Structure 1
Amino acid sequence: MQEHPNYQDIVLVGGGHTHAIVLQMWAMNPLPGARLTLVSPQIQTAYSGMLPGMVAGHYSLDDTHIDLARLCRAAGARFIQACAHHVDAKMRSVSLLGRPPLEYDLLSLDVGATPVRELPGSELAIPIKPIGHFYNFWKKLQRHVQKNRTPLRLGIVGGGAGGCELAMAMAHSLEEQIYSGRVQIHLIHAADKIPQGYPFLARKLVARELERLGVLQHHNWPVAEITEQGVRNKSGELLGLDQVLLSTNACAPPWLADADLALDEKGFVLVDRKLRARGHQDIFAAGDVASFAAEPLPKAGVYAVRQGPVLFHNLRATLTGRPLQSYRPQKRFLSLLSCGGKRAVAVRNGLAAVGAPLWHWKDHIDRSFMQRFEDLPVTLETMPTARPREALGQREGISLAGMRCNGCGAKVGPEVLRRALAKLPAQQSDFLLRGLGDDAAVMDLPASQLLVQSSDQLRAPVADPWLFGRLAALHALSDLFAMHARPVSAQILATLPTAAEEITQRDLQQLLAGAIYELNRHHCALSGGHTAEGAEMQLGLTVNGLAERDQLLEKRGAQAGDCLILSKPLGVGTIFAAEGMGEVQGRWLQKALECMLHSNAAAAEAFAQHGAHALTDVTGFGLLGHLLEMLKPDGLNATLIAEQLPLIPGASQCIERGWLSSLQPQNASAYAFVENPREWQSLPHWALLTDPQTCGGLLAAVPENTAEACMRTLLQSGCSQAAIIGVVSAGGDVQPKINLRREGHWRQLITRDSEAEHSQV
Structure 2
Amino acid sequence: MLSRLSYHRSPLSGRSGAAGGQAQKPGTTKSMQQYPNYQDLVLVGGGHAHAIVLQMWAMRPMPGVRLTLVSPQSQTAYSGMLPGMVAGHYEHDDTHIDLTRLCRAAGARFIRARVEAIDPELRTISMPGRPDLEFDLLSIDVGSTPSRNIAGAERALPIKPVENFWRHWQQLQKDIATSKQTVAIGVVGGGAGGCELAMAVAHALREPIGAGRAEVHLLTRGERVPDQFPPMAQTAVVREMARLNVQVHGNWAVTEIEANGVHASDGRFLPLDQVMLCTGASAPGWLANSGLARDESGFIQVDHYLRAVNCAHIFAAGDAASLTGRPLPKAGVYAVRQGPILFHNLRATLTGRPQKPFRPQREFLRLVSCGDRRAVAVRNGLALTGGALWRWKDHIDRQFMARFSELPLEMDDKRPHDGDIIRERDGQHLAPMRCNGCGAKVGADALSRALAPLPPQQSSLLHRGIGDDAAVMQLPAGELLVQSTDQLRAPVEDPWLFGRIAALHALSDLFAMHARPATAQTLVTLPLAAEALTRRDLHQLLAGAVHELNRHDCVLSGGHTSEGAELQLGLSVNGFASKAQLLEKTGAKPGDCLLLTKPLGIGAILVAEGLGKAHPSWHEAAIDTMLQSNAAAAEILAQHHARTLTDITGFGLLGHLLETLDGDAPLGATLFVDRLPLLTGAATCAREGWLSSLQPQNARALERIANPEPWQSDPRWQLLVDPQTSGGLLGAVPAERAGDCVHALRESGYAEAAIVGEITMPGSEELGTPVRLTGESPQLQEG
Q: TM-score, normalised by structure 2?
A: 0.93
Say whether 1:594 aligns with 2:624: yes
Asked whether the equivalents of residues 38 and 529 of structure 2 are also in contact (C-alpha less than 8 Å), the reply is yes
Q: Distance in 2 between matches of 1:397 and 1:92?
A: 20
Return closer, same or farther for 1:274/1:392 CA change in 2, 3 Å cut-off: closer
Give the equivalent residue in structure 1 for 2:768: 735
Q: Distance in 2 between matches of 1:265 and 1:398?
A: 43
Pick one of 574, 577, 585 that aligns with 2:604.
Answer: 574
1:638 alignment partner, SS class: strand
Give the equivalent residue in structure 2 for 1:425: 455
Asked whether the equivalents of residues 304 and 324 of structure 2 are also in contact (C-alpha less than 8 Å), the reply is no
Q: Deviations over 1:140-168 (max 9, x none)?
A: 11222233333322111111111111111
Asked whether the equivalents of residues 336 and 344 of structure 1 are also in contact (C-alpha less than 8 Å), the reply is yes
1:603 alignment partner, SS class: helix
Give the equivalent residue in structure 2 for 1:406: 436
Q: How does 1:221-236 map to 2 (within 5 A)?
A: 221-236=252-267
Pick one of 71, 74, 77 that aligns with 2:108.
Answer: 77
Q: Distance in 1 between matches of 2:572 and 2:328?
A: 56
Say whether 1:479 aligns with 2:512: no
1:282 alignment partner, SS class: strand
Q: How does 1:576-725 map to 2 (within 5 A)?
A: 576-633=606-663, 634-725=665-756
Per the TM alignment, residue 380 of structure 1 is displaced from its structure 2 partner at its CA by 10
Per the TM alignment, residue 650 of structure 1 is displaced from its structure 2 partner at its CA by 1.1
Return closer, same or farther for 1:605/1:205 CA change in 2, 3 Å cut-off: same
Give the equivalent residue in structure 2 for 1:119: 150
Per the TM alignment, residue 519 of structure 1 is displaced from its structure 2 partner at its CA by 0.5
Give the equivalent residue in structure 1 for 2:76: 45
Per the TM alignment, residue 232 of structure 1 is displaced from its structure 2 partner at its CA by 0.7
Asked whether the equivalents of residues 635 and 732 of structure 1 are also in contact (C-alpha less than 8 Å), the reply is no
Per the TM alignment, residue 330 of structure 1 is displaced from its structure 2 partner at its CA by 1.1
- Which amino acid letter does the alignment assign opposite residue 273 of structure 1? H
Per the TM alignment, residue 394 of structure 1 is displaced from its structure 2 partner at its CA by 4.3
Per the TM alignment, residue 174 of structure 1 is displaced from its structure 2 partner at its CA by 0.8
Q: Deviations over 1:459-485 (max 9, x none)?
A: 011111111101100100011111111
Asked whether the equivalents of residues 177 and 183 of structure 1 are also in contact (C-alpha less than 8 Å), the reply is no
Say whether 1:361 aligns with 2:392: yes
Per the TM alignment, residue 584 of structure 1 is displaced from its structure 2 partner at its CA by 1.3
Q: Deviations over 1:419-444 (max 9, x none)?
A: 10111111111211111111111111
Per the TM alignment, residue 402 of structure 1 is displaced from its structure 2 partner at its CA by 3.6
Asked whether the equivalents of residues 79 and 463 of structure 1 are also in contact (C-alpha less than 8 Å), the reply is yes
The 10-residue stretch of structure 1 (394-403 or 572-581) with the greater mean CA deviation from structure 2: 394-403
Return closer, same or farther for 1:729/1:231 CA change in 2, 3 Å cut-off: same
2:270 alignment partner, SS class: strand
Q: Distance in 2 between matches of 1:277 and 1:705?
A: 67
Per the TM alignment, residue 263 of structure 1 is displaced from its structure 2 partner at its CA by 0.8
Per the TM alignment, residue 567 of structure 1 is displaced from its structure 2 partner at its CA by 0.5
1:99 alignment partner, SS class: coil
Say whether 1:244 aligns with 2:275: yes
Give the equivalent residue in structure 1 for 2:533: 503
Q: Distance in 2 between matches of 1:406 and 1:151?
A: 76
Return closer, same or farther for 1:183/1:113 CA change in 2, 3 Å cut-off: same
Q: Distance in 2 between matches of 1:731 and 1:550?
A: 29
Pick one of 505, 508, 523 that aligns with 2:553.
Answer: 523
| Bigger helix fraction | 1
Q: Distance in 2 between matches of 1:397 and 1:189?
A: 58
Say whether 1:180 aligns with 2:211: yes
Per the TM alignment, residue 399 of structure 1 is displaced from its structure 2 partner at its CA by 5.5
Give the equivalent residue in structure 1 for 2:30: none
Pick one of 340, 363, 366 that aligns with 1:309.
Answer: 340
Say whether 1:329 aligns with 2:360: yes
Asked whether the equivalents of residues 37 and 66 of structure 2 are also in contact (C-alpha less than 8 Å), the reply is no
Pick one of 103, 106, 112 that aligns with 2:137.
Answer: 106
Per the TM alignment, residue 546 of structure 1 is displaced from its structure 2 partner at its CA by 1.0
- Which amino acid letter does the alignment assign opposite residue 181 of structure 1? G
1:187 alignment partner, SS class: strand
Give the equivalent residue in structure 2 for 1:25: 56
Return closer, same or farther for 1:5/1:700 CA change in 2, 3 Å cut-off: closer
Per the TM alignment, residue 711 of structure 1 is displaced from its structure 2 partner at its CA by 0.9
The 10-residue stretch of structure 1 (708-717 or 628-637) with the greater mean CA deviation from structure 2: 628-637
Per the TM alignment, residue 725 of structure 1 is displaced from its structure 2 partner at its CA by 1.1
Q: Distance in 2 between matches of 1:382 and 1:221?
A: 57
Unaligned runs of 5+ residues in structure 2 are 1-34, 415-419
The 10-residue stretch of structure 1 (453-462 or 237-246) with the greater mean CA deviation from structure 2: 237-246
Q: Deviations over 1:613-672 (max 9, x none)?
A: 111111100111011111121411111122211111111112211101000110001111
2:207 alignment partner, SS class: helix
Unaligned runs of 5+ residues in structure 1 are 384-389, 752-757
1:15 alignment partner, SS class: coil
1:174 alignment partner, SS class: helix
Pick one of 183, 193, 197 that aligns with 1:152.
Answer: 183
Give the equivalent residue in structure 2 for 1:295: 326
Give the equivalent residue in structure 1 for 2:309: 278
Return closer, same or farther for 1:60/1:612 CA change in 2, 3 Å cut-off: same
Asked whether the equivalents of residues 632 and 736 of structure 1 are also in contact (C-alpha less than 8 Å), the reply is no
The 10-residue stretch of structure 1 (62-71 or 148-157) with the greater mean CA deviation from structure 2: 148-157
Per the TM alignment, residue 5 of structure 1 is displaced from its structure 2 partner at its CA by 11
Per the TM alignment, residue 182 of structure 1 is displaced from its structure 2 partner at its CA by 2.4
Pick one of 370, 377, 394 that aligns with 1:339.
Answer: 370
Return closer, same or farther for 1:465/1:17 CA change in 2, 3 Å cut-off: same
CA RMSD of aligned residues (A): 1.7
Q: Distance in 2 between matches of 1:101 and 1:381?
A: 36
Q: Distance in 2 between matches of 1:589 and 1:33?
A: 28
Give the equivalent residue in structure 2 for 1:350: 381
Q: Distance in 1 between matches of 2:633 and 2:36?
A: 50
Per the TM alignment, residue 395 of structure 1 is displaced from its structure 2 partner at its CA by 4.8
The 10-residue stretch of structure 1 (371-380 or 576-585) with the greater mean CA deviation from structure 2: 371-380
The 10-residue stretch of structure 1 (265-274 or 372-381) with the greater mean CA deviation from structure 2: 372-381
Give the equivalent residue in structure 1 for 2:6: none
Pick one of 86, 96, 106 that aligns with 2:117.
Answer: 86
Per the TM alignment, residue 177 of structure 1 is displaced from its structure 2 partner at its CA by 5.4
Q: Distance in 1 between matches of 2:655 and 2:36?
A: 49
Give the equivalent residue in structure 2 for 1:442: 472
Return closer, same or farther for 1:635/1:382 CA change in 2, 3 Å cut-off: farther
Q: How does 1:46-65 map to 2 (within 5 A)?
A: 46-65=77-96
- Which amino acid letter does the alignment assign opposite residue 31 of structure 1? M
- Which amino acid letter does the alignment assign opposite residue 467 of structure 2? G
Give the equivalent residue in structure 2 for 1:194: 225
Per the TM alignment, residue 236 of structure 1 is displaced from its structure 2 partner at its CA by 2.1
Asked whether the equivalents of residues 113 and 251 of structure 1 are also in contact (C-alpha less than 8 Å), the reply is yes
Asked whether the equivalents of residues 73 and 382 of structure 1 are also in contact (C-alpha less than 8 Å), the reply is no
Give the equivalent residue in structure 2 for 1:171: 202
Pick one of 423, 441, 446 that aligns with 1:416.
Answer: 446
Q: Deviations over 1:397-429 (max 9, x none)?
A: 656334101100100000000110111111111
Pick one of 591, 596, 600 that aligns with 1:561.
Answer: 591
Asked whether the equivalents of residues 62 and 421 of structure 2 are also in contact (C-alpha less than 8 Å), the reply is no
Q: Distance in 2 between matches of 1:233 and 1:590?
A: 44
Q: Distance in 2 between matches of 1:534 and 1:391?
A: 21
Asked whether the equivalents of residues 9 and 105 of structure 1 are also in contact (C-alpha less than 8 Å), the reply is yes
Report which structure shows greater RCO (CA 8 Å, sep ≥6): 2
Give the equivalent residue in structure 2 for 1:755: none
Q: Distance in 1 between matches of 2:413 and 2:453?
A: 31
The 10-residue stretch of structure 1 (327-336 or 212-221) with the greater mean CA deviation from structure 2: 212-221
